[in-house]
Amino acid sequence: MPSFPELEPPLSDGEVIVRLAAERDIPEVLIAYQDDPELHLRMGEERPPSGAELGRLAERAAADRAAGRGMTLTIVAVGDDDGVCLGQVNVHQVDWEHARLELGIWVVPQARGRGFGRKALRLLARWLLEELDFERVQLLTEPDNQPMLAAAAGAGFEREGTFRGFTRERGHRVDVAILSLVRRDLGG
């Protein structure tokens, strides 16, 4: 079974660092959910996660990564010696046979609009396509989530359309926009 590597050194473009998530990120993650009461809704969650839930996810992260099920990465600003979490990218819905996966991303409210999401998506998607031989990286989001649509487009993702009534969230069918980046989009 394929697996995700350690990611040492972390990915960086000189402005943003994308590193494996760690337990030390949990306080910033909890604060982000507190500062943005709708974050859990945008992430398709029924409620914000608890510290205990985040701790359990952190405990099993290495096993999930080694088993190729997915991984969570933390976004950090270059030059931030404390490595404060500015957001995270989740790699999930991994299909090794068809060489495709899905990304989910969020950025803390105080860092939004500064390009961190776009840069993190670009770094991670290129790494997945070029280094790990995935053929397709995709994102699903609400059709009206303009910040996510703009970040994804800025990272090179193409909007493919809208899946109507694609998923059930909080008892209702929800439309989702789908965006993708495929290896041939990278050129050369």
Provide the pLDDT for residue 81: 78
Q: Is residue 9 reached through a cis peptide bond, with omega within 30 degrees of 0 on the bond before it?
A: yes
Instruction: Name the residue range of residue 38's domain.
Output: 11-186
Q: Does some domain include residue 163?
A: yes
As given in the structure block, the two tokens for residue 128 are 């997945």
The pTM for the full model equals: 0.93
Asked if residue 90 lies in contact with residue 121, where contact means CB atoms within 8 angstroms, the answer is no
pLDDT at position 179 over 70: yes
188 confidence band (pLDDT: 50, 70, 90): low
Asked if residue 173 lies in contact with residue 142, where contact means CB atoms within 8 angstroms, the answer is no
Q: Does some domain include residue 3?
A: no
Instruction: Say which amino acid occupies 177.
Output: A
Q: How far apart, in whole angstroms, are the C-alpha atoms of residue 125 and residue 102?
A: 10
CATH number, domain of 91, equals 3.40.630.30
Residue owning tokens 């495929």: 182
Q: Does some domain include residue 5?
A: no
Over residues 114-166, the pLDDT tens digits come to 999 999 999 999 999 999 989 999 999 999 999 999 999 999 999 999 999 99
> How many distinct structural domains can be found in the chain?
1
Q: Does some domain include residue 159?
A: yes
Q: Does some domain include residue 2?
A: no
Over residues 60-88, the pLDDT tens digits come to 999 999 999 999 999 999 988 788 999 99
Alpha helices of the chain — where are they, by DSSP H? 26-35, 39-42, 51-66, 116-130, 146-154
Q: Does some domain include residue 4?
A: no
